[in-house]
Amino acid sequence: MKIVTYNVNGIRAAIKKGLVDWVVNQNVDVICFQETKSQPEQVDMSAFEAAGYHAYWHSAEKKGYSGVLTLSKFPAAQAVVGMGNEKYDREGRVIRTDIQGYSIFNCYFPSGSSGEERHQYKMEFLSDFRPYIDSMRENINPIIVVGDYNIVHTELDIHNPKRKDNPSGYRLEERAWMDEWFGNGFIDAYRSKYPEKIEFSWWSYRAGSRGKNKGWRIDYISVDNQLAEKIVDVAHYKDDQHSDHCALELILK
């Protein structure tokens, strides 16, 4: 089973850059898009439908902002929109789909880069997200949590780990949250296969950062501990450019 997460930074723009052909050629079973910046009626999904995909949306109330979309070649046994918390759900940040015996959570964590108010909102989201997921784990299938977490976990995950400006996304309190997240029930699928390898999933559009590989690893696939032995491989598609992020792929037995 091939699962992909991809922040497309506007799905309509990404489609114009060849996203549909890329998805079809990669033969992806489940692909989770973040930051769609679209309502369902704004996107021509006919090419995805022709390729056999079922679509499950959670769009933000604000047009042109945020939003997640899961496409699956298998119909979902259940699709649950949101976390049941209006504070976050109006921004279109989480959709759960139960597919082939897995509960896949497609998530777009808030960014705090626009200022301290949004960073505080991000920290509140993190504080609420963990108990939400823990409550889900009590009664449902093995969980996979994919998406743009907007957090650099370790110094291996950023090109300039000694920076002093304390940006949101690389603050100690966020990284401590990631320590707890991966230390209590979940595995970083990429690090489980490549514990020391340096790869990134996002690059600023400024100063040719992607070409210089000056990036951050902020997109993750977290798998329930019980799925550890099913991980075959994990890969970044850094050369396929439809966004300022790249796709991240998980292959499960």
In a structure prediction context, what are the per-residue pLDDT tens digits for the chain, which is 253 residues long? 999 999 999 999 999 999 999 999 999 999 999 999 999 999 999 999 999 999 999 999 999 999 999 999 999 999 999 999 999 999 999 999 999 999 999 999 999 999 999 999 999 999 999 999 999 988 888 999 999 999 999 999 999 999 989 999 999 999 999 999 999 999 999 999 999 999 999 999 998 999 999 999 999 999 999 999 999 999 999 999 999 999 999 999 9
7: Cα separation from own chain's centroid: 6
* pLDDT tens-place string over residues 23-70: 999 999 999 999 999 999 999 999 999 999 999 999 999 999 999 999
CATH architecture under which domain 2-252 falls: 4-Layer Sandwich (3.60)
Catalytic hit among 44, 128, 134, 148: 148
Is 157 marked active-site? no
Distance CA 79, CA 94 (A): 11
How far apart, in Å, are the Cα atoms of 144 and each of 5, 37, 88, 235?
A: 11, 23, 20, 16
Helices and strands in the chain: count of H runs, count of E runs: 7, 14
Q: What is the predicted pLDDT for the residue at 139?
A: 87
CB atoms within 10 A of CB 79: 18
Which residues sit opposite 234 in a β-bridge? 250
Contact (CB, 8 A) for 251 and 2: yes
* pLDDT tens-place string over residues 59-76: 999 999 999 999 999 999
Distance CA 170, CA 166 (A): 7
Q: What is the predicted pLDDT for the residue at 141?
A: 84
Q: What is the predicted pLDDT for the residue at 138?
A: 86
What's the half-sphere exposure (Cβ side, CA atoms, 13 Å) at 98? 11
Domain ranges of the chain: 2-252
